[in-house]
């Protein structure tokens, strides 16, 4: 072999090695969920999106009649509280009854506000369904912190660490996570309080609830989708999946204190606001 041919071979090999090394480094780099402190993520309105196939979340009872306040201004449609379908095949009998009872109360004229209207923490995964307030991320080598602007509620995700043997139930549970593929944050959550709900239909769960999320950023970094898998044999007949979409929102984290802005105009169930003489957990 000539010296020039050998040199070319070495050069090509070096280029291939450098290319593979760069690709590996890129794959190992975590997604930048917070390029600066003024970047938040705004959720899309509506319930969880169903998966392409397989069991999905509890669907709306009747999407034709569901309308938000925005729908009133756009189409003149009378706003009503969204109701879940109690006949969803994923629901255990007692969970079906819980959803049905809430629907009957709404149809009887009673309010069906979601939990955040009363300044309660909404839990996991229901916090993904609140489009009015963005979520901000803080990333460190050992932890990812999610800060929901509404009432400044905080969720901690501890990276590359196992779950506790017996986590004490809490509003957002015990979340552990890791990065995958350079564009995805995987979060595994257990230890969720049964005072929270799975969605805005007040679908209940037990302390067996196990939620796995995959926050995946788009290639251009302007949108993100969270694919969730929910497993709770105490409340559901089978594991089910769904997703929520977020859009990049460039605005600083604002002060938003729920109790200071929550006024009882109509004596709805937004009052009394939660009060406690001692910690809940």
Q: 95 and 236 in contact (C-beta within 8 Å)?
A: yes
Q: 146 and 157 in contact (C-beta within 8 Å)?
A: yes
Could you give the CA distance from residue 57 to residue 230 in angstroms, rounded to a whole number?
9
Domain spans in the chain, listed from the N-terminal domain onward: 33-50+57-252
Q: 239 and 132 in contact (C-beta within 8 Å)?
A: no
Could you give the CA distance from residue 156 to residue 169 in angstroms, rounded to a whole number?
14
- List CB contacts of 205: < 8 A, sequence separation 6 or more: 192, 194, 196, 197, 198, 232, 234, 235
Cis peptide before 125, with omega less than 30 degrees from 0? yes
- List CB contacts of 3: < 8 A, sequence separation 6 or more: none
| CB atoms near residue 263 (< 10 Å) | 8
CA 221: distance to chain centroid? 18
| CB atoms near residue 199 (< 10 Å) | 22
Residue showing tokens 């400044």: 152
Task: Phi first, then psi: give them for residue 229, nearest 5 degrees.
Answer: -125, 130
What six digits make up the tokens of 179? 């990065």
pTM reported for the whole predicted model? 0.80
> Per-residue confidence of the chain (281 residues) as pLDDT tens digits?
554 544 444 444 444 434 443 343 344 578 999 888 888 999 998 899 999 999 999 999 875 555 555 555 666 666 678 899 999 999 999 999 999 999 999 888 888 888 777 788 889 999 999 887 899 999 999 999 999 888 888 999 999 999 999 999 999 999 999 999 889 999 999 999 999 999 999 999 999 999 999 999 999 989 999 999 999 999 999 999 999 999 998 888 888 777 665 555 444 455 556 666 776 66
155 DSSP 8-state letter: E
């Amino acid at each position: 072999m000539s010296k020039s041919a050998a040199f070319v071979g070495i050069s090509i090999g070096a280029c291939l090695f450098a290319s593979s090394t760069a690709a590996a480094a890129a794959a190992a780099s975590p997604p930048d969920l917070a390029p600066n402190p003024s970047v938040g993520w705004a959720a899309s309105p509506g319930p969880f999106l169903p998966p392409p196939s397989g069991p999905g979340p509890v669907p709306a009872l009747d999407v034709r009649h569901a309308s938000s306040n925005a729908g009133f201004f756009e189409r003149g449609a009378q706003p009503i509280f969204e109701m879940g379908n109690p006949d969803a095949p994923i629901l255990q009998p007692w969970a079906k009854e819980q959803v049905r009872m809430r629907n009957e109360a709404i149809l009887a004229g009673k309010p069906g506000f979601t939990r955040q209207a009363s300044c309660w923490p909404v839990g996991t995964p229901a916090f993904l369904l609140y489009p009015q307030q963005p979520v901000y991320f803080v990333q460190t080598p050992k932890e990812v912190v999610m800060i929901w602007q509404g009432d400044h509620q905080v969720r901690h995700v501890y990276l590359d660490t196992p779950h506790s043997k017996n986590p004490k139930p809490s509003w957002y549970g015990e979340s552990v996570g890791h990065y995958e593929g350079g564009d995805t944050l995987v979060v595994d959550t257990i230890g969720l309080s049964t005072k929270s709900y799975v969605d805005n239909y007040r679908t209940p769960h037990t302390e067996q609830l196990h939620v796995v999320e995959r926050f995946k950023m788009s290639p251009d970094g302007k949108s993100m989708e969270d694919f969730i898998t929910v497993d709770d044999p105490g409340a559901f007949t089978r594991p089910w999946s769904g997703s929520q979409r977020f859009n990049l929102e460039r605005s600083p984290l604002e002060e938003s204190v729920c109790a200071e802005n929550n006024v009882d105009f109509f004596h709805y169930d937004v009052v009394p606001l939660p009060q406690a003489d001692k910690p809940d957990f």
